[in-house]
Amino acid sequence: MVDPSRQAIAFISDHADPAAEIGMEEAGGQNVYVRQMGENLAALGWHVDIFTRKSNANDLSIVQHSPHCRTIRLTAGPETFIPRDQLFEHMPEFLDNLQKFQTKQAIHYPLLHTNYWLSAWVGMQLQQKNNVQLIHTYHSLGRVKYETMQTRPAVAETRLAVEQQILEQANCVVATSPQEKEALRSLISQQGQVEVIPCGTTPNFHCIPKATAREKLGWHPQERVVLYVGRFDPRKGIETLVRACAHLKEMGTPHLKLVIVGGSSVERLDGPERKRIETLVDHLDLVKQTHFAGRIDHNWLPWYYSAADVCVIPSYYEPFGLVAIEAIACGTPVIASKVGGLRFTVIPEETGLLVPPRDVDELAVAIERVLQDELWAKKLKKQTSHPHNSRFSWKNSAMQLSDLYRYILARSIMHDQPWNPKISRLPGATDPLRIAAV
Ligand code: UDP
């Protein structure tokens, strides 16, 4: 039931289930984003329904996160895990079930916030039929992703077309960093409105004394701990980090320990990337120095960040990169690739260092500098712990998003006519798919 005094908004997050375990193969930043934005927007007076695909038959169909924020899992294809690249053909069913839910519950959402390109496609179909305001957040860009792939998936052309169309047709696109906005303008289109609203962290990401955190985790005080937190995805560049650590070991760095957080801790599929990284660790004779911690709950992560000497984000691309601000909020210096939103969140020589992506030698030098130069590392830690550097909070992000929604809804009423986007065909979408969807 929706409280009639609240404005209802729908988040669409096709594959990223906000109620799922974060850190496993395809669950990461987007899941955190929709959950945190949803809950914080509900606290600001909205009613937020987050629609996602049901990927496990045993999962509940509705998960209530707080009194006015819930996740609704819709059937779209078999109720089992399906990789993102194979989900497009199930989006018409997702759309159909979303509309059925709305009719059954008699809810109208004047504002849709879509996340990722598959959701953008769903949002655009709804926008064609209803007077709704459409907001979109990309989370990942096909144009960037495909640059690093040797073979593009069959759905690539459709994705690229949808990503251009949503930028030009949505009432507003929310970029999470100025760098993402820049990328949208230079790689996708000059048309359409883009506003920057950064991501945040929750207050539980805070500094814990290193010795206390190490004791809690059973880590030795002498160890020099290099931490990675995130999914196993080739775009994350874990290979570069492993190679840099092997280099450091060769150079004689004492007490080196690499902790890799993310993925599954039980016998479940993490995809081929985990296997590939494990093989590499073995091949580089780094098994003794490496600990695969598996998926760690968000509530436990502050202990890991606080216990580490340095957190490394070796990604090839990041629109934002939540891990950077989480580590910084825990007072841990970050060494990150000089790409995307990491150039926004990591301040070189103040909260960490930026290095070129894929550059094993430069990364090794940067890690060595933090591990060896104790005085500088202490200064860095002190600066990182400064409240000024914990400036990102989900509460603030949701407040900015709430203002944007209000502005867009007010603008639509003032214009007193439905948004009338230029409707064009989606290349790659077959006719039966379109007929089924609209
Ligand atoms: N994360 C987690 N447990 C893990 C691994 C990752 O909670 O074991 C969380 C991490 O804290 C962060 C998110 O997953 O909030 C990853 O977001 P990021 O933006 O860094 O990467 P993305 O997944 O969007 O590529």
Integer CA distances (angstroms), 303 to 28, 208, 215, in order? 19, 7, 10
Asked whether residue 3 is assigned to any structural domain, the reply reads no
Nearest atom (ligand 1) to Cα of 262: 8
Q: Tell me, rounded to whole angstroms, the distance of Cα 264 from its chain centroid.
A: 18
Per-residue pLDDT of the chain (438 residues; tens, 9 = 90+): 788 889 999 999 999 999 987 756 677 899 999 999 999 999 999 999 999 999 999 999 999 999 999 999 999 999 998 989 999 999 999 999 999 999 999 999 999 999 999 999 999 999 998 889 999 999 999 999 888 778 899 999 999 999 999 999 999 999 999 999 999 999 999 999 999 999 999 999 999 999 999 999 999 999 999 999 999 988 899 999 999 999 999 999 999 999 999 986 554 556 788 999 999 999 999 999 999 999 899 899 999 999 999 999 999 999 999 999 999 999 999 999 999 999 999 999 999 999 999 999 999 999 999 998 888 878 888 877 777 666 899 999 999 999 999 999 999 888 654 434 443 334 333 332 332 332
Contact 237 CB / ligand 1 (< 6 Å) = no
In this structure, are 189 and 240 located in the same domain? no
Amino acid (one-letter) located at 371: L
CA of 22 to the centre of ligand 1 (A): 7
Q: Are residues 169 and 238 in the same domain?
A: no
* Domain ranges, residue 238: 210-389
CA of 289 to the centre of ligand 1 (A): 23
Interval between CA 20 and ligand 1 midpoint (Å): 12
Instruction: Please provide the distance, in angstroms rounded to a whole number, between the alpha carbons at the two ends of the chain.
Output: 27
| Domain assignment of residue 34, yes or no | yes
Q: Considering the domain boundaries, does residue 119 fall inside one?
A: yes
CB distance 192 to 170 below 8 Å = yes
Atom of ligand 1 nearest to the CA of 235: 25
CATH of the domain at 67: 3.40.50.2000
Asked whether 35 lines ligand 1 (CB < 6 A), one says no
Asked whether 32 lines ligand 1 (CB < 6 A), one says yes
CA 369 to chain centre: 29
Is 354 domain-assigned? yes
- Among protein residues, the one with the nearest Cα to ligand 1's atom 22 is 29
Q: Which residue, by CA, sits nearest to atom 2 of ligand 1?
A: 23
Do 32 and 76 belong together in one domain?
A: yes
